[in-house]
Amino acid sequence: MMQRAVFFVLLLMSFTPWVSAPLALLAGLAISFFTGNPYLSLTKKYSKTLLQYSIIGLGFGLNIGVALQVSRDGFLLTLGTILTVFTLGFILLKVFKIDRITSVLISSGTAICGGSAIAAVAPVLNAPSDKTGIAIGTVFILNAVALFVFPTIGMWLDLTQYQFGLWSAIAIHDTSSVVGAAEVYGTEALHVATTLKLSRALWIVPLTLVIALFVRKSSKVSIPFFIFGFIAASLIATFIPEGKDVYSIIHKVARQLLVVSLFLIGASIRLRDLKVAGWKSLAYATCIWVCISLLSLMVIILFY
């Protein structure tokens, strides 16, 4: 009974403006690690759904012209970092001596959009469930770290809202942590990060097709529906401005639901899931992540 009461109290608190995105994730992790999540299967199911609808709602706060400009500005940066990640992954594969399938899964998650990219690539590689779990577990750990570390670094370096939005979209794995970190930094950073991260997620299609070509396997590629929902919301907000008061409310609600989804994501991460990752895979993923974070940060500071 106490376990459930604590869960519901923290869940309700995450609906309030007093709880930030990092604090919500930390509260979720505390629930999972110390008291246990009494609704583990439900939180795993609904955290992803809630996050997706939150992202769609964020689209109502963004002009489509701005979205296109951000996507265009970030195209070369995105392409360059994807190629760099896979090059680093190939080099470090020999250093850390992990198996090739795990290496490709981790590189895919680092290069594009975390767990979504790993889930898309795994069937093409015929990846065993344990290797897929290792890659996803590794990404979970680094995402949690990024959510706390990136805003601190951004403020320390006095990055502009635009620069931080670009950097978080490029260097943080999962969409959840990207928008969570950017939401802490500011509204413009949130819009830039969300737009670029979702346009970056579209690279799942060519990546999967290239990998399928190398393993000589035909594969169906699915694009997450919320990307199209985000675009549709931005189009509505741009071309039907009469509803701006309603859009403002939807956008505000979506930002708070994002915080709730991060609480549920944190509550869904178990210690045993993190242990599965293993030190070699974690060290391998961390090296790639740190390198691409520093390289992209230097480029953004110099050219953006």
Does position 41 have pLDDT exceeding 90, yes or no? no
Compute the distance between CA of residue 120 and CA of residue 72 in angstroms, rounded to an integer: 25
Burial class of residue 287 (count of CB atoms within 10 Å of its CB; 0-12, 13-18, 19+): middle
Residue range 97-114, pLDDT digits in tens: 888 899 999 999 999 888
Amino acid at 24: A
What pLDDT was estimated at residue 286?
Answer: 95
Residue 239 CB neighbour total at 10 angstroms: 9
Residue 224 has pLDDT above 70, yes or no: no
Q: Which pLDDT belongs to residue 273?
A: 64
pLDDT over 70 percentage in the chain: 94
Secondary structure letter of residue 224 according to DSSP: -
141-174, pLDDT tens digit by residue?
898 899 989 999 999 999 999 999 999 999 999 8
% of the chain exceeding 90 in pLDDT: 36
- pLDDT of residue 297 exceeding 90, the answer is yes
Task: Taking residues 48-60, report their average pLDDT.
Answer: 86
CA dist 128 and 131 (Å) reads 6
pLDDT given at position 270: 75
Q: How confident is the model at residue 217 (pLDDT cuts 50, 70, 90)?
A: low
Please check whether residue 173 is in contact with residue 139, taking contact to mean a CB–CB distance below 8 angstroms: yes
Instruction: Give pLDDT, residue 274.
Output: 63
Specify the higher pLDDT residue, 26 or 283: 283
The whole-number pLDDT of residue 157 equals 97
CB of 191 within 8 A of CB of 62? Answer: yes
Amino acid, single-letter form, for residue 62: L
- Chain segment 8-39, per-residue pLDDT in tens: 888 999 999 888 877 888 888 888 888 888 88
**Domain-by-domain residue ranges, the chain?**
40-303
pLDDT in tens, 243-274: 989 999 999 999 898 889 888 888 887 777 66
Lowest mean pLDDT of 4-8, 49-53, 205-209, 271-275, name the range: 271-275
The mean pLDDT value of the chain amounts to 87
Q: Specify the pLDDT at position 20.
A: 80
Predicted local confidence at residue 17, as pLDDT: 84
Task: Flag whether the pTM goes above 0.85.
Answer: no
Question: What average pLDDT does the segment 54-67 reach?
Answer: 85
Structure tokens at 303: 């050219």
Token pair recorded at residue 252: 């505000």
Q: Is the pLDDT of residue 140 over 90?
A: no
pLDDT reported for residue 300: 96
